[in-house]
């Protein structure tokens, strides 16, 4: 396993600054799930700021069931060769060997993702052990800061992946943003207790209170299907958007992908949002999360 | 620009790390504005094109009719590109096919250091900023492979690779001064904007 290194020429690689820095460069952008090099080209041409390479989009993982694992490195490598934008790939929660393999392959970011079947029901990956940066999902501030403490360099809301229903992404974004707003008005005594209650390290809670935001970039994910969904998440204070099944499960992926990219840039300009929302063809059919059996939900994975 | 008016610098806000630039500029007492549409360039004294994904920024600039207005603005006003912004300002980007402004007499190679695991930070000597080195963060960074005409090299890595260039009122850096607390390069750019307006 590689560790953070200082080289002869004074260059330091794998530092928190460069790990978090790439996420800062992705802000205001859209990261799209792709399953083939052709999809990856469509995403890049539409203006995606990165792609997530995986074998099945979350909607298909739901439909087909079974154990969902890291994708075949060959398939990820083909996608890395097809595009010049950063390529991310998913590993199972706690599966640090899948992460070692993806680091050896040279992916730009690893998503330790609840969308895949968890490999460890108590421990997440110790992400400080890697030079490659990680993004992790969260439903609230405590979960976000636990992941940052483990070395996550980027956070995303979990939402409910593969549903095309934005309600859970909104719930998780509002939870995080609302908790941060409350933190900023607390005194030190209250911060100690709050940190204990949300099971997050005090230092990170204090840093978040001082910054008035998470110490790392925070994207929305899990259920974004339309330009309006994407702009909604941006107006709720997210730094950017992941779109999974929403693009390649829709009627006209190229057009919808481009429209979502433009909606994220111009998220507070209703005239642009009106234009890009027109005539996009069919959206993904979707599953209503509210009427979904509890056991089918995946956002509860992660500890 | 007269003394009575406060300097106003725009930051291209299509995608990427524009908020970091805006914050640094405001800390230095300059008015800073986000630029997403051609009209947003109105009344600006200078422009920063930030880091981000250059393909994304290029496509959005074309789609919203920004290329020609940006080019016109940059010909007349100080403009600074960091990372993706440096690619945007260059005349020559090799085999890459993406929309650029094509102003600075430099050749730039994208993702020149490799993938993210090769991203790095390093102390960089930059003579125009004084003796103390500048702590520079390189994220999937480009590099300048050739400098022509009046373009001047401001900084090189230890192995000689060119990572900062000035050509008249244009500035290009392969690294991200907006990611560190050292604001000397922002101050350097603000001086360029001030001289131009004086």
pLDDT digits (tens, 9 = 90+) for A239-250: 999 998 999 989
Distance (Å) from the alpha carbon of B108 to chain A's nearest alpha carbon: 15
Which residue ranges in chain A fall short of pLDDT 50?
1-3
**Interface residues from chain B to A (CB-CB < 8 Å):** 13-20, 36, 51-53, 55-56, 59-60, 63, 83-84, 96, 110-111, 114-123, 137-140, 157-159, 176, 179-180
| CA atoms in the 13 A half-sphere facing the CB of A170 | 13
CB contact under 8 A, A86 and B63: no
Q: What is the distance between the alpha carbons of residues B9 and B32, in angstroms, rounded to a whole number?
A: 5
* Confidence band for B4, pLDDT divided at 50, 70 and 90: low
State both tokens at A91.
């590993």
Instruction: List chain A residues with CB under 8 Å of B16.
Output: 25-29, 49
The answer to whether residues A116 and A90 touch, using CB atoms and an 8 Å cutoff, is yes
Instruction: List chain A residues with CB under 8 Å of B119.
Output: 13, 18, 21-22
For B56, the 3-state DSSP assignment is helix
pLDDT of the residue at B124: 97
| Residue from A28, A87, A102 to probe the interface with B (highest B Cβ count within 10 Å) | A28
The answer to whether residues A4 and A153 touch, using CB atoms and an 8 Å cutoff, is no
Q: What is the distance between the alpha carbons of residues B31 and B147, in angstroms, rounded to a whole number?
A: 32
For chain A, how many helices (H) and strands (E)?
A: 13, 10
pLDDT of the residue at A283: 86
State both tokens at A158.
């979990």
CB contact under 8 A, B56 and A85: yes
> From the list B83, B111, B116, which residue is nearest A133 (CB)?
B116
Q: What is the distance between the alpha carbons of residues A121 and A101, in angstroms, rounded to a whole number?
A: 21
User: What end-to-end distance do the CA atoms of chain B give, in Å?
Assistant: 6
Instruction: List chain A residues with CB under 8 Å of B117.
Output: 2, 13-14, 103, 106, 108, 131-132
Which residue is closest to B138 within chain A, CA to CA?
A: A18
Q: What is the distance between the alpha carbons of residues A73 and B28, in angstroms, rounded to a whole number?
A: 47
Asked if the C-beta of A293 comes within 8 angstroms of chain B's C-beta atoms, the answer is: no
Give the catalytic positions of A in this structure.
90
Residue range A91-137, pLDDT digits in tens:
999 999 999 999 999 999 999 999 999 999 999 999 999 999 999 99
For A283, the 3-state DSSP assignment is coil
Q: What is the distance between the alpha carbons of residues B191 and B186, in angstroms, rounded to a whole number?
A: 9
pLDDT of the residue at A296: 87
Which residue is closest to A103 within chain B, CA to CA?
A: B117
pLDDT of the residue at A1: 37
Asked if the C-beta of A18 comes within 8 angstroms of chain B's C-beta atoms, the answer is: yes
The DSSP call for residue A89 is E
> From the list B17, B119, B159, which residue is nearest A9 (CB)?
B159
Interface size A-B, in CB pairs within 8 Å, comes to 128
Residue B1, pLDDT above cutoff 70: no
Report ipTM (2 d.p.): 0.95
Q: Whole-prediction pTM value?
A: 0.96
Task: Show the beta-strand stretches assigned E in chain B.
Answer: 8-12, 31-35, 46-49, 79-82, 90-92, 104-109, 120-124, 134-138, 143-147, 152-156, 162-167, 170-173
A197-201 LR contacts (CB < 8 Å, sep 24+): A197/A142, A198/A140, A198/A141, A198/A142, A198/A145, A199/A142, A199/A146, A200/A141, A200/A142, A200/A145, A200/A146, A200/A149, A201/A145, A201/A149
pLDDT of the residue at A4: 59
Distance (Å) from the alpha carbon of A289 to chain B's nearest alpha carbon: 31
The answer to whether residues A192 and A202 touch, using CB atoms and an 8 Å cutoff, is yes
Instruction: List chain A residues with CB under 8 Å of B14.
Output: 28, 265
User: What end-to-end distance do the CA atoms of chain A give, in Å?
Assistant: 25
Give the catalytic positions of B in this structure.
83, 176, 178
Residue B67, pLDDT above cutoff 50: yes
Q: What is the mean pLDDT of residues B179-198?
A: 93
> From the list A10, A12, A25, which residue is nearest B53 (CB)?
A25
pLDDT of the residue at B198: 62
For B54, the 3-state DSSP assignment is helix
Distance (Å) from the alpha carbon of B192 to chain A's nearest alpha carbon: 25
> From the list B36, B55, B157, which residue is nearest A84 (CB)?
B55
Instruction: List chain A residues with CB under 8 Å of B114.
Output: 106
Dump the DSSP string for A133-175: -EEEEESSHHHHHHHHHTT-SEEEE---TTS--THHHHHHHHH
Residue A110 pairs in a beta bridge with A89, A134
Q: CB under 8 Å to B71, separation ≥6 — which residues?
A: B101, B102, B103
């Amino acid at each position: 396993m590689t560790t953070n290194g200082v080289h002869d020429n004074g260059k330091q690689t794998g530092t928190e600054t460069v790990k978090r820095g790439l996420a800062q460069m992705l802000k205001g952008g859209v990261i799209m799930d792709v399953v083939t090099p052709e999809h990856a080209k469509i995403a890049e041409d539409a203006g995606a700021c990165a792609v997530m390479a995986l074998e099945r989009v979350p909607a298909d993982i739901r439909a087909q069931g079974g154990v969902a694992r890291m994708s075949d490195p060959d398939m990820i490598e083909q996608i890395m060769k097809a595009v010049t934008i950063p390529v991310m790939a998913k590993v199972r929660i706690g599966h640090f060997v899948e992460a070692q393999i993806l680091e050896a392959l040279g992916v730009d970011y690893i998503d330790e993702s609840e969308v895949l079947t968890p490999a460890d029901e108590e421990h997440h990956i110790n992400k400080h052990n890697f030079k490659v940066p990680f993004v992790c999902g969260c439903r609230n501030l405590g979960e976000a800061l636990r992941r940052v403490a483990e070395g996550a360099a980027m956070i995303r809301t979990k939402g409910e992946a593969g549903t095309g229903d934005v309600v859970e992404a909104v719930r998780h974004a509002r939870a995080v943003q609302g908790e941060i707003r409350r933190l900023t008005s607390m005194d030190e005594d209250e911060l100690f207790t709050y940190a204990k209650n949300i099971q997050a390290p005090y230092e990170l809670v204090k840093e978040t209170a001082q910054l008035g935001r998470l110490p790392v970039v925070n994207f929305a994910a899990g259920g974004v299907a339309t330009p309006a969904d994407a702009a909604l998440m941006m107006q709720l204070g997210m730094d950017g958007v992941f779109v999974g099944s929403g693009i390649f499960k829709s009627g006209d992926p190229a057009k919808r992908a481009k429209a979502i990219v433009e909606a994220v840039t111009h998220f507070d300009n209703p005239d642009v949002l009106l234009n890009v929302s027109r005539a996009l063809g069919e959206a993904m059919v979707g599953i209503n999360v509210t009427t979904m059996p509890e056991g089918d939900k995946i956002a509860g994975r992660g500890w | 620009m007269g003394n009575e008016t406060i300097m106003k610098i725009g930051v291209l806000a299509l995608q990427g790390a524009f908020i970091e630039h805006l914050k640094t500029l405001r800390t230095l007492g300059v008015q800073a504005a986000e630029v997403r549409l051609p009209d947003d360039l109105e009344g600006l004294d200078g422009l920063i094109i930030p880091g981000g994904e250059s393909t994304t920024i290029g496509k959005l600039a074309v789609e919203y009719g920004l290329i020609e207005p940006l080019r016109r603005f940059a010909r007349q006003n100080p403009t600074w590109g960091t990372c993706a912004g440096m690619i945007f300002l260059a005349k020559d980007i090799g085999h890459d096919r993406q929309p650029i402004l094509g102003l600075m007499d430099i050749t730039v190679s994208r993702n020149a250091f490799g993938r993210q695991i090769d991203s790095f930070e390093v102390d960089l000597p930059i003579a125009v900023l004084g003796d103390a080195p500048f702590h520079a963060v390189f994220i999937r960074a480009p590099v300048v492979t050739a400098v022509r005409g009046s373009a001047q090299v401001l900084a090189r890595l230890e192995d000689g690779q060119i990572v900062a260039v000035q050509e008249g009122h244009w500035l290009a850096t392969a690294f991200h001064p907006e990611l560190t607390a050292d604001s000397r390069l922002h101050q350097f750019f603000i001086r360029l904007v001030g001289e131009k307006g004086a």
